[in-house]
Amino acid sequence: MSSNFGDKLVIAITSSVLFDLTESDRVYREQGLAAYAKHQIERENEILEPGEAFPLVEKLLRINENLGGDPRVEVILLSRNSADTGLRVFNSIEHYKLNITRAAFSGGESPYRYVSAFGCHLFLSSHGDDVRSALANGVAAATLLPSSKARRDDDELRFAFDGDAVIFSDESEKIFKQQGLKAFTENEKASARTPMTAGPFKNFLGALHSLQAEFEASHCPIRTALVTARSAPAHERVVMTLREWKIRIDESLFLGGLEKGEFLRAYGADVFFDDQQRHCASASSHVSTGHVPHGIANE
């Protein structure tokens, strides 16, 4: 991973999640690339409406204002546009006064290959194939789903994560899927003091933890939560693993298989990451949700 940004938290997003490109995408699908390019160039001074990731990006960039001094969060724009057709995107960024200055326009090809070059901790996209490629290259990534949620209008940024196959590997989930709940529970009890191996979001969670440490606990603008289907006694291994990693989670919800949506709404998540489509579908009616296509549930 690149060290170009030192100890910054680096997030890569695509233009299709930062802004609402529904109409532009329709033109591309129905009329082709030439019509799309014409559509974008003719409207390059028409400001795009905010997309699914827009509130998240605003809050991320506001952290720099709270810290003062050198910025600690960097947001990178990745786009399948060319620089020519992407001018409308940058005009919209300038209009909303988003401090995003670095970008890669890949001219119709997948931009995911620049995620590692920029040293990104997280990649958010609406293209599932790009997300899978980023995950395969060791970068936390998620496909942001459309959401009907009401947005929280404050400065605090609340992340929520599923455990197995997201923060942790899917080693335990494989036992559950292949052998059932009893075998899973017995394995977790027997392995309670053995830390799990890292999942795709471990490094991102660690980077968030480091950024949180720069604030006083009572004035930290970032809050994290683990929202997992696990319950006692399988909770102990989670606690011991995070302790071994020296990573703090502010809130932990062990739901024992209950639907997660209402709990995520009560927590007030700005974004929730889960590997299972059915959990994502349930959550997306309450909060912004990123599907992490990783592990046995996505094979």
Catalytic residue list: 162
**DSSP assignment letter at 229:** S
Number of H-type helices and E-type strands within the chain: 13, 10
- As a whole number of angstroms, the distance between CA 151 and CA 279 comes to 20
Alpha helices in 85-190 (DSSP H): 87-95, 114-117, 128-136, 171-179, 181-190
Cis link prior to 233 (omega < 30° from 0)?
yes
Structure tokens at 122: 């997280």
**Torsion region of 88: left, alpha or beta (phi above 0 gives left; psi -120 to 50 gives alpha):** alpha
Question: Is residue 33 within 8 Å of residue 108, measured between CB atoms?
Answer: yes
Residue 185, number of CB atoms within 10 A of its CB: 17
Rounded CA-CA distance 55/153 in Å is 9
State the pairing for strand pair 157-161/222-228: parallel
How many other C-beta atoms are found inside a 10 Å radius of the C-beta of residue 253?
17
Residues 224 and 159: beta-carbon distance below 8 Å: yes
The Cα–Cα gap between 243 and 82 comes to 45
